[in-house]
Structure 1
Amino acid sequence: MWDMCLMPRPNKTRPTLKHRKFRTSSSSETTPILIPSFSSKGFKHHLSTMSLMQEYIYSPTLISAYDIYFDLVESDKQFPSFNSVPLLIIDSGGYEANCEPEFSETPSQHHRPNPWTIEHLHEALSKFESAAPKALVTYDHPALRTSMEIQIARALEFKDRYPDDSIIFLMKPERAGQTQLDIDSIKGHAKSIAVFDAIGVTEDEAGRSLTDRMVFIAKLRQCLDDIGGDAPIHVFGSLDTLLTQAYFLAGADIFDGLTWLRHYYHMDSTVYRRHHPIIENRFEEPADRAESKMHVHNYNRLQEIQSKMRAAIASQSVAGLPHSELIMKAYDSMQARLGI
């Protein structure tokens, strides 16, 4: 029966929510998964933040091969290993190699990236040591545009090179000047991309509007389902209290981002981080200490939201999700576009 706390929705299809398995070298992780990410881009003290938070984090985590290379390999700094997490995702460095900000970014400093190549990525992966099972994201660069056939071929070579690690195939726009992925081009390669442990898209490249992005995710999920593929869909750059839920209803499974470091998760909302001392009555606390406490709070809040998402699958009800009425409006917009 439909949730009584929501307005009746006659003749409208409710979301079908599903757990999927993300395979690791030792076992598997059950989706949905909300993954705290770390990056040097826009974060001057990223290493100290990582060192602090690795004592609190007990769930899958994402770090960047770009940061591993320029902190550990080039500068010989102490780089956190995150040995105790059940899964460590190593992003390929394309985000840090791009001087443009992402959708949710409000950087405090202009980012000037270093040169970044596939060779840098391989060297970073060879030098970094961690006891945690690893998932590697296929190489991307903001200046690189190739056909989906070539992207898949290179990703398969990458998969062969790292047989002991899980591989996330990050799909990118194919042509110069193209800023969004083309689902019609991807559909013809569904069987090829289904061999990877997860299929990745960045939030920005899935579409210009929220409905565009949800429709893209829904169509990608459908084309995988049609060929019996059950690989999770990973949305890079989405980790807030509202948009993540919308993409979850559309069919996405794994979510990571830096929002938890940039903003404050208060109740079910994502707010300006400098509101944290006021809301928490920490008026005289130094800013650096208050920010560290905010990061711990945000991480714990992510785990609570993840639990609510998993409970929604068990009950097949969105009533317990943050902002359930709002995300159902977004879902209805997606359904209307799809003609359902």
Structure 2
Amino acid sequence: MQEYIYSPTLISAYDIYFDLVESDKQFPSFNSVPLLIIDSGGYEANCEPEFSETPSQHHRPNPWTIEHLHEALSKFESAAPKALVTYDHPALRTSMEIQIARALEFKDRYPDDSIIFLMKPERAGQTQLDIDSIKGHAKSIAVFDAIGVTEDEAGRSLTDRMVFIAKLRQCLDDIGGDAPIHVFGSLDTLLTQAYFLAGADIFDGLTWLRHYYHMDSTVYRRHHPIIENRFEEPADRAESKMHVHNYNRLQEIQSKMRAAIASQSVAGLPHSELIMKAYDSMQARLGI
């Protein structure tokens, strides 16, 4: 698969630390990507699987600390420009002030790399981010190269999440901040476009590896051989072709999103009517 990837790529510091990724010795294509995003490992440190995952066995995470993250970053070598995601852990809850202070220390430690500040809920039991709390720190968070949120922590419903993204974008715009918004776990054929219209810029996720993109919808991956008339093809080969197909489809959708910006029209986006219904729901909530 690595020979097909020519776009920004995300890998996990957790995987680096536990030798699940062996730098450019195993994946030389990491040297040629335009940007290598190294996630901080919080996803893998969580025992709860992503909604897009259909695990064959229960995930038992290893201990994961900020020291593990620093060690992973020190051992990984790549010639590609890097963007590092600030440390997070599913059990960690601290105030936004402390999150920002720690992220600034992280930024000072890696001055040659771009830093994505991943914001997390602040209190025990809190599962969603508080946009009102974040607004009070807009100038502080605007110093980072990108602002990150996980899809689930942006809101409970699709409209909640789109409204959160729109408000975050507006509070950054109001102070002249142009940092892009990165929505972690949001990469697919429909949700990506919805969050894009709300104001997000960077998307990642695993559905393209776990499911099949057919007619701009995300379907069960074992349907791929039937739809593509590959009845006799071994499963591993069919899955590899599915990954290439999905990757190419995402590139096409990205081009259409850029065209939508240039033309100020969503008419060329896949399922534009469905996406606009979600957009209208967001606008109604915002009172626009």
Q: Same fold judged by TM-score > 0.5?
A: yes
- Residues 2 and 27 in structure 2, CA contact (< 8 A), matched pair in contact too: no
Query: What is the deviation of 1:108?
Result: 2.4
Query: What is the deviation of 1:257?
Result: 0.4
The secondary structure found in structure 2 opposite 1:201 is strand
Deviations 1:253-303 (Å, cap 9, x if unpaired)? 000000100111112111110111111111011111110111111111110
The secondary structure found in structure 2 opposite 1:97 is coil
Deviations 1:134-166 (Å, cap 9, x if unpaired)? 000000000100000000000000000000000
Tell me how large the CA RMSD over aligned residues is.
1.7
1:255 to 203, 222, 241: 203
- Residues 73 and 124 in structure 1, CA contact (< 8 A), matched pair in contact too: no
Q: Give, in whole Å, the separation in 1 of the partners of 2:7 and 2:34.
A: 6
- Match of residue 293 from structure 1: 241
Query: What is the deviation of 1:110?
Result: 1.1
Deviations 1:58-90 (Å, cap 9, x if unpaired)? 010100000000016999994666111000000
Say if 1:80 and 1:204 are closer, same or farther in 2 by CA, change over 3 A.
farther
Deviations 1:226-252 (Å, cap 9, x if unpaired)? 000010000000011111111011000
Q: Give, in whole Å, the separation in 2 of the partners of 1:128 and 1:253.
A: 27
Q: Give, in whole Å, the separation in 2 of the partners of 1:79 and 1:98.
A: 26
Aligned residues: 288
Say if 1:123 and 1:254 are closer, same or farther in 2 by CA, change over 3 A.
same
Q: Which has the higher contact order (CA 8 A, sep 6+)?
A: 1
- Residues 6 and 34 in structure 2, CA contact (< 8 A), matched pair in contact too: yes
Structure 1 or 2: more helix by fraction: 2
Query: What is the deviation of 1:222?
Result: 0.4
Q: Give, in whole Å, the separation in 2 of the partners of 1:142 and 1:113.
A: 11
Q: Give, in whole Å, the separation in 2 of the partners of 1:159 and 1:247.
A: 27
- Residues 71 and 79 in structure 1, CA contact (< 8 A), matched pair in contact too: no
Q: Give, in whole Å, the separation in 2 of the partners of 1:334 and 1:69.
A: 40
Query: What is the deviation of 1:101?
Result: 1.6
- Residues 24 and 30 in structure 2, CA contact (< 8 A), matched pair in contact too: no
Query: What is the deviation of 1:103?
Result: 3.3
Find out whether 1:226 has 2:180 as its counterpart.
no
Which structure 1 residue ranges, 5 or more long, are not aligned? 1-52
Which structure 2 residue ranges, 5 or more long, are not aligned? none
Say if 1:330 and 1:270 are closer, same or farther in 2 by CA, change over 3 A.
same
Deviations 1:98-122 (Å, cap 9, x if unpaired)? 0012233322221110000111100
